[in-house]
Amino acid sequence: MKSEHRHDLQTNVLSAELAKWVQKVKPFSGQIVTGIVLLAVLYAGLAVWDVQSAEKEREAWDAFALATDTSDPEINSLQRVAENEQYAGTKMQEWAYVGWCDRQVLNAMSSYLIDRKTTEDRLRNVVGIYENLASGAADFQVQNRARFGLARVYELQNKLDEARQQYLTVRGDLQPQASDRAKQLESEEVRKASSWLATAELPKRDLTGGQGATGARPNFDASLPVAQPSSDGISAESLEKLLGELNPDSPVDENRYDEKEKAAPADDQDESDSETETNTEQDSPKEDNTVEDNTEQDSPKEDNTVEDNTEADVNEPDTSNSETGENGSAPE
């Protein structure tokens, strides 16, 4: 009974307090409702903005991937993506800038001894970007990567003290490598080598081959090479001796070359005489045959003419006699 009475008393007290607060808040009820509505709208706006930001980041990273997938050693497409206002404020923009700057430093290292002017231009273009990212990048990794890249730029410019200070400010994954390089820059040998590299250049290739300036008419007065006699002159005599040493059983006639040289003129004379006789024999039969042929061709013609005349004379009297006999018998 007493517990129920205490419960009723507590309920009455709570109701009275709530009634008092309602009376106090009632004049501000409109403002409270407005605040609640604004909070709901703000929450909805934040949700929409978050969705749009996520979509923008996704598009930015897609553009980043396409820009890096290129055969251009300068990857200028990555620079254009970083400078695109459509992707301003995205995380990709900082990574695009630092990636392009790193590639420019790499190309500058490759052309350091070949084309000093191009190297200096590349380093000059990335110093300002590195400095801005090193001090104001939102991403911690981008910030330290920019510091490391800036230290390499100073080192290529032979600013070793500034490079060492930048190496010491690097944190994160690149810190061990940066600390080792900072210690190396304290060495006197490294400083001397860096000073020498700052002025050294590779020898340029002479495309003219030492014949004059490019575009000039080359010299065509070239002389043919002269054959030089062999210092190890091998003669027939030494060759025969060498063969004799290889085959000691076979006799070596050292005078056979002299005999062949003496016999050579006589053989040549005999050959010339035999050729003369052969030509004479070939010409003589042709003349005899020609005379005989002409004689034979003339003789048959004369014989045939005589025979024809004789036959004509013999036949003519017979014809006349027969004709007379016939005439003599006619009167009868």
104 occurs within a structural domain: yes
33 inside domain:
no
Structure tokens at 217: 């008419």
Confirm whether 228 is domain-assigned: no
Q: Which residue has the higher pLDDT, 143 or 21?
A: 143
Among the ranges 132-146, 208-222, 284-298, which has the highest mean pLDDT value? 132-146
206 torsion bin: left (phi>0), alpha (psi -120 to 50), beta (else):
beta
143: in domain: yes
* Average pLDDT over every residue of 197-211: 68
Asked if the structure places residue 137 within a domain, the reply is: yes
Residue 247 counted as domain residue: no
pLDDT of residue 307: 44
- If one compares 122 and 227, the residue with the highest pLDDT of the two is 122
Res 300: pLDDT:
44
- The residue range of the domain holding 81 is 59-197
Mean pLDDT of 19-31: 77
Which residue has tokens 């700052």?
198
Using a pLDDT cut of 70, give the percent of the chain over it.
Answer: 57
Distance CA 151, CA 162 (A): 7
Higher per-residue confidence, 11 vs 297: 11
Per-residue pLDDT at 129: 95
Q: Which residue has the tokens 């996520």?
A: 54
Q: What is the pLDDT of residue 285?
A: 45
**Residue 146 resides in a domain:** yes
Q: Is residue 147 part of a domain?
A: yes
State the angle between helix axes of 29-68 and 91-110 in degrees (0 to 180), rounded to the nearest 10.
30
**Structural domain tally of the chain?**
1
Q: The domain spanning residue 146 has which CATH number?
A: 1.25.40
**The predicted structure's pLDDT at residue 313:** 45
